[in-house]
């Protein structure tokens, strides 16, 4: 009973932090003519409520695609339509066709913030709670600690409740997918992930690990026996779920192609804003966008992405374990973020949530990653006027992690883990104590650097010659961090000969 009470308090604290952040500014507040993501979500409600399905993704007199045209899959559109019906009942002006553009008021802000909270309570938070309490061979206190740290992760809170988006829905569905697989409910897990993919196409970051895990499980059962039956059931589930989600668009091939063009706008180029991935960082020295054709850029990003995620996915196919699935989700999403085409700064959330799933196994490095992932979005958060919520939520998360996991003490454990990996690869190793001191030094240097750059970005005016100096520094520093994290997580997973045994302990 005591554990349940503490868990309930943890959830309540997470909700309080979320709602407190929602009182702050949001993307594009009072910034015409395009405003920001807040207006994008409101405009999608306007479009889906007033126009027939056949016009949702097409450029028409009443649907100017240059003004926040719908560019997410059908489930997002259906969600917008559901919110629009409620909005119309409260105040029809909120979704009035054309005349509601840029609508801003305190009652409307309260409504929009409430829709995020309700979506979070339905899709994401219950999945987090069930995941934490499904961990086996884990003490009750540790389960609550993991729950608290995941719920206090500042990146997701700041983007959904500050900047304004519904990432909690797609990420929640993906987490339900992991839960389904963890209980051997493979069809339900597949269905949940298909819903995630049909809500946001960026869930492709997680698609290959799900596929490899299920394929590996089918191969393990025997491709000519039960494995083939499972494969057919999973395939049928995927096809059926996609067909249902896309049903209104299946009557016309032109509709399908237009939706796909909106979901994958390859004409936008390799990247747009300053994002902490390889291509943006590399462009400081080498203008890839000017040197290579768009087609070559697309093929190059595809090749590097596949090469970066392939090792973990191959091992997951050969050894389909739930622990391996979580590490492969991290590696795959991070590979996509670093190397794929048209990455946005908010896409780091697709890496962060899988990292939250392994925070109990590698608490020090996971906490470090989650801090850097939030810091990587600093330019966006400053633009939205969210500096104070960023500082407060980051400090709360760091305090919760330090208290819950004693991350300073965990460095020696993770150093020993690296030692076993180095020995298995017959690589030189400096020693546990030396490596522990090196890791701790780099951590404190990293945190100090992030604090200094945050202060400089918020208070100093960049030189006229380099107006983007601070966002560029943030993106490059974070990119270097993410590359190191990608190598680290791959080493930990690929060199772990105890994968099967640890899997049994955890689940």
Per-residue pLDDT, averaged over 75-81, amounts to 98
Q: Is residue 83 pLDDT above 70, yes or no?
A: yes
pLDDT recorded at residue 4: 86
Confidence bin at 505 (pLDDT 50/70/90): very low
Contacting residues for 258 by C-beta, under 8 A, at least 6 apart = 57, 58
pTM of the model: 0.93
Q: Is residue 142 pLDDT above 50, yes or no?
A: yes
For residue range 47-73, list pLDDT tens digits in order: 999 999 999 999 999 999 999 999 999
What separation in angstroms does the CA of 32 have from each of 35, 99, 141? Answer: 5, 14, 49
pLDDT recorded at residue 504: 45
- Structure tokens belonging to residue 233: 């059931």
Q: Cis ω on the peptide bond leading into residue 73 (within 30° of 0)?
A: no
Q: Is residue 1 pLDDT above 60, yes or no?
A: no
Determine which of 15-19, 226-230, 481-485 has the lowest per-residue pLDDT on average.
226-230
Work out the angle at residue 240's Cα, subtended by the Cα atoms of residues 86 and 263, and round it to the nearest 5 degrees. Answer: 60
pLDDT recorded at residue 430: 62
Percent of the chain, pLDDT > 90? 76
Is the Cβ–Cβ distance between 321 and 359 less than 8 Å?
no
Q: Is residue 463 pLDDT above 70, yes or no?
A: yes
In angstroms, the CA 39 to CA 108 distance is 11
Determine which of 112-121, 188-197, 496-505 has the lowest per-residue pLDDT on average.
496-505
Domain boundaries, the chain: 2-29+104-506
Is the Cβ–Cβ distance between 332 and 209 less than 8 Å?
yes
pLDDT recorded at residue 478: 97
Q: Is residue 506 pLDDT above 60, yes or no?
A: no
For residue range 485-497, list pLDDT tens digits in order: 999 999 889 887 5
pLDDT recorded at residue 404: 82
pLDDT recorded at residue 497: 55
Q: Is residue 227 pLDDT above 50, yes or no?
A: yes
pLDDT recorded at residue 223: 81
pLDDT recorded at residue 28: 93
Cα end-to-end distance, the chain, whole Å: 23
Residue 274: left if φ>0, alpha if ψ -120 to 50, beta else—which one? beta
Q: Is residue 285 pLDDT above 50, yes or no?
A: yes
Q: What is the mean pLDDT of the chain?
A: 91
Contacting residues for 346 by C-beta, under 8 A, at least 6 apart = 159, 163, 165, 167, 377, 380
3-state SS of 443-505 is HHHHHHHHHHHHHHHHHCCCCCCCCCHHHHHHHHHHHHHHHHHHHHHHHHHHCCCCHHHHHHH
In angstroms, the CA 276 to CA 490 distance is 19
pLDDT recorded at residue 183: 94
For residue range 166-221, list pLDDT tens digits in order: 999 999 999 999 999 999 999 999 999 999 999 999 999 999 999 999 999 999 98
pLDDT recorded at residue 338: 96
Q: Is residue 423 pLDDT above 60, yes or no?
A: no
pLDDT recorded at residue 432: 61
Q: Is residue 481 pLDDT above 90, yes or no?
A: yes
In angstroms, the CA 288 to CA 259 distance is 29
Confidence bin at 428 (pLDDT 50/70/90): low
């Amino acid at each position: 009973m005591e554990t349940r009470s503490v868990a309930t308090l943890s959830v309540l604290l997470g909700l309080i932090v979320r709602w407190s952040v929602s009182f702050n500014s949001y993307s594009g507040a009072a910034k015409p003519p395009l405003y920001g993501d807040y207006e994008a979500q409101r405009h999608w409600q306007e479009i889906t409520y007033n126009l027939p399905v056949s016009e949702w993704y097409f450029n028409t007199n009443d649907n100017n695609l240059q003004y926040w045209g719908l560019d997410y899959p059908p489930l997002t559109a259906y969600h917008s339509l559901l919110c629009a019906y409620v909005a119309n009942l409260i105040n029809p002006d909120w979704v009035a066709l054309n005349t509601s553009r840029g609508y801003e008021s305190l009652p409307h802000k309260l409504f929009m913030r409430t829709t995020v909270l309700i979506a979070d309570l339905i899709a994401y938070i219950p999945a987090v709670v069930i995941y934490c309490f499904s961990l086996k061979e884990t003490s009750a206190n540790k389960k609550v600690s993991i729950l608290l740290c995941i719920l206090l992760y500042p990146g997701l809170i700041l983007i959904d409740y500050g900047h304004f988006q519904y990432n909690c829905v797609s990420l929640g569905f993906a987490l339900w997918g992991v839960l389904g697989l963890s209980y051997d409910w493979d069809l339900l897990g597949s269905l949940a992930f298909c819903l995630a993919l049909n809500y946001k196409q960026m869930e492709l970051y997680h698609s290959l690990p799900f596929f490899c895990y299920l394929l590996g499980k089918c191969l393990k059962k025997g491709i000519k026996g039960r494995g083939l039956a499972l494969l057919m059931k999973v395939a049928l589930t995927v096809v059926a779920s996609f067909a249902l989600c896309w049903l209104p668009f299946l009557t016309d091939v032109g509709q399908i192609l237009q939706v796909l063009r909106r979901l994958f706008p390859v004409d936008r180029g390799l990247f747009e804003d300053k994002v902490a991935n390889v291509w943006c960082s590399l462009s400081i020295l080498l203008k890839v966008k000017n040197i290579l054709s768009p087609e070559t850029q697309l093929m190059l990003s595809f090749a590097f992405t596949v090469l970066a995620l392939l090792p973990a996915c191959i091992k997951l196919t050969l050894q389909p374990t739930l622990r391996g699935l979580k590490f492969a989700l991290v590696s795959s999403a991070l590979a996509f973020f670093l190397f794929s085409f048209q990455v946005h700064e908010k896409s780091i959330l697709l890496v962060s949530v899988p990292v939250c799933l392994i925070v109990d196994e590698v608490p020090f490095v996971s906490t470090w990653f989650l801090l850097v992932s939030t810091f990587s979005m600093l330019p966006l958060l400053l633009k939205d006027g969210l500096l104070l919520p960023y500082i407060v939520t980051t400090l709360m998360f760091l305090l919760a992690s330090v208290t819950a996991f004693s991350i300073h003490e965990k460095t020696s454990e993770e150093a020993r883990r690296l030692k076993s990996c180095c020995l298995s690869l017959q690589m030189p190793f400096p020693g546990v104590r030396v490596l522990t001191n090196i890791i701790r030094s780099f951590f404190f240097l990293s945190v100090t650097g992030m604090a200094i750059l945050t202060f400089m970005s918020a208070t100093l005016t960049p030189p006229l010659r380099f107006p983007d100096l601070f966002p560029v520094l943030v993106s490059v520093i974070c990119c270097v961090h993410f590359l190191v994290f990608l190598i680290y997580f791959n080493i930990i997973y690929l060199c772990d000969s105890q994968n099967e045994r640890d899997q049994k302990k955890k689940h």
